[in-house]
Amino acid sequence: MTNHFHMIVKTPRANLQEFMRQFSISYTAYFNRRHKRSGHLYQGRYKSFLIDVDPYLLQVSRYVHLNPVRTSSSHEDKKAFLDTYRWSSYPDYVSSSRFPFLSTKEILSYFSGRTSYKSFVEEGISHSTNPLEKGKGHGIIGDAPFIKEVLKTVRITPAREQPEARRINGIAPAEVLQAIGKRFHVDPEDILAKPSPRGTWQWNCSTASRT
């Protein structure tokens, strides 16, 4: 979208935070090099939801693919725009895959073929709801028993308590990076980025230099 994006990510290991950190840093570095800019690219932290696969995974997938057409006018206009919108994985689901990193197999396994998934998505143009609303407050999309089971095993800090939790747990990592960047006149994104072939950052308690 023009100011945000959606991803459905399956994490066999509970490492979504590490994945998003690497993704954000890598893409920010690429974008800044390409457009000859510096500094942050994203505003604020990402939002994440834990999804109960049956049946909410399909609802979320449809919601994500319908996101670009929510402001279009007629039903037919939306269908046409949906098929031609280039910044979406939808064409990979209904025709052929363009990106090796994108896996469509799991969601398409619920359907008899790509045409069937296309019909499922188009049915939602006129009556689709936002399944993410179910995750408000606790970040879990699922039925009541699933939510209860997850909350029994995972502690989730409500949004209103997050600032207090940060104060209890100490200084947030982002604050540390900002302080180091300000002290040594370095972009915090560069601190976390992979070393460049042309040199590496060397740090000690009082100085920072590029070699």
Whether residue 184 contacts residue 208, with contact meaning beta carbons closer than 8 Å, is answered with yes
pLDDT at site 152: 81
Backbone angles phi, psi at 173, to 5 degrees: -55, -35
Give the C-alpha separation, 104 to 108, whole Å.
6
pLDDT at site 129: 82
Q: Which residue has the higher pLDDT, 8 or 44?
A: 8
Q: Which residue has the higher pLDDT, 74 or 87?
A: 87
Q: What is the pLDDT of residues 104-158, one digit of tens each?
A: 999 999 999 999 999 999 999 887 688 988 888 888 999 888 888 888 877 655 5
The overall average pLDDT reported for the chain is 80
Q: Which residue has the higher pLDDT, 86 or 35?
A: 35
pLDDT at site 211: 38
Whether residue 1 contacts residue 67, with contact meaning beta carbons closer than 8 Å, is answered with yes
Q: Tokens for 79? A: 């269908």
Q: What is the pLDDT of residues 147-168, one digit of tens each?
A: 888 888 776 555 544 444 444 4
> Among 109, 154, 133, which residue's Cα sits nearest to residue 146?
154
pLDDT at site 127: 77
pLDDT at site 70: 79
pLDDT at site 168: 42
Q: How confident is the model at residue 195 (pLDDT cuts 50, 70, 90)?
A: low
Q: Tokens for 200? A: 């590496």
Model confidence at 71: pLDDT above 60? yes
Q: Which of 23-32, 68-77, 110-119, 166-175 comes out lowest in average pLDDT? A: 166-175
Model confidence at 181: pLDDT above 60? yes
Q: How confident is the model at residue 55 (pLDDT cuts 50, 70, 90)?
A: confident
pLDDT at site 63: 93
